[in-house]
Amino acid sequence: MYTPAHFTAGPDTVQGLLASPGAANLVTMTPQGLLATLVPFVYDPGAGAHGALLGHLARNNTQWSEPAVGEALAIIQGGDAYVSPSWYASKAEHGRVVPTWNYTTAHVYGRLVIHEDPEWISSQVWLLTGVHEAGAEHPWSVDDAPERFIAGQLRAIVGVELVISRIEAKAKLSQNRPAADVDGVVAGLTATGHAGMAADVERARPN
């Protein structure tokens, strides 16, 4: 990943991307070429030296059965938004400004392990469901569905574990702009409904 020094994501940003419930594009190189699937993951910090991403694929998805060549890659996408040059104070000063895109992302590399053990798969599904149902007023539980139905659903998937070997992460959040331009970006993002990105830009503001 091309990452200028001022856009290098810090440890807190990396941990935030890993720990936030969401999905990542799992990419593998196989003898048949590149394969990719968007997979909901849960981060397990205790697996291996750098942790692991745990998920599952449909059994009919050939990505799990095709032998991976080298490392697998999970692309985790954080917030992102368009940045208009009209938000910059610099536009009125000299006009030498152009549009850009702010974003955070992590490229997580590692060894892909396939799990067909029913207990592992069941445990992963319970964990994933629990993470996403945690904030619900009436959280759904796996055992809310009929046991035979769940058993059939579990037979239709395989577990995947990306044992992390390295992470490259980038936080492009206007750190290269003057303070007045950053003020404009924060205001512009807030006004266009991107309050979360505005907060990220504010946190990344150079001292």
Can you identify the CATH homologous superfamily of domain 5-82+100-175? Electron Transport, Fmn-binding Protein; Chain A (2.30.110.10)
Mean pLDDT of the residues in the chain: 95
Determine contact, residues 169/24, Cβ cutoff 8 Å: no
Residue 193, classed as helix, strand or coil, is coil
What is the distance between the terminal CA atoms of the chain, rounded to a whole angstrom? 26
Cβ-Cβ contacts under 8 Å for 120 (sequence gap 6 or more): 159
Q: Domain boundaries in the chain?
A: 5-82+100-175
Say how far apart CA 72 and CA 109 lie, in whole Å: 6
* H or E stretch covering 204: helix 195-204
Q: How far apart are CA 31 and CA 53, in angstroms?
A: 24
pLDDT confidence tier of residue 119, bands split at 50, 70 and 90: very high
Task: Give residues with Cβ within 8 angstroms of 189, minimum separation 6.
Answer: 81, 83, 102, 195, 197, 198, 201
**pLDDT cut 70: percent of the chain above it:** 100
Share of the chain above pLDDT 90, in %: 93
Question: pLDDT at position 135, please?
Answer: 87
Task: Report angle CA 75, 81, 83 to the nearest 5 degrees.
Answer: 135
Query: In the predicted model, what is the mean pLDDT of residues 133-159?
Result: 94
Q: pLDDT digits over 29-55, tens only?
A: 999 899 999 999 999 998 878 999 999
Q: What is the mean pLDDT of residues 152-165?
A: 97
With beta carbons less than 8 A apart as the criterion, state whether 156 and 58 touch: yes
Quote the pLDDT of residue 48. 76
pLDDT digits over 57-69, tens only? Answer: 999 999 999 988 9
H or E segment and range at residue 35: strand 33-44
Query: Which of the four pLDDT bands, split at 50, 70 and 90, describes residue 159?
Result: very high
pLDDT tens digits, one per residue of 56-101: 999 999 999 998 899 999 999 999 999 999 999 999 999 999 999 9
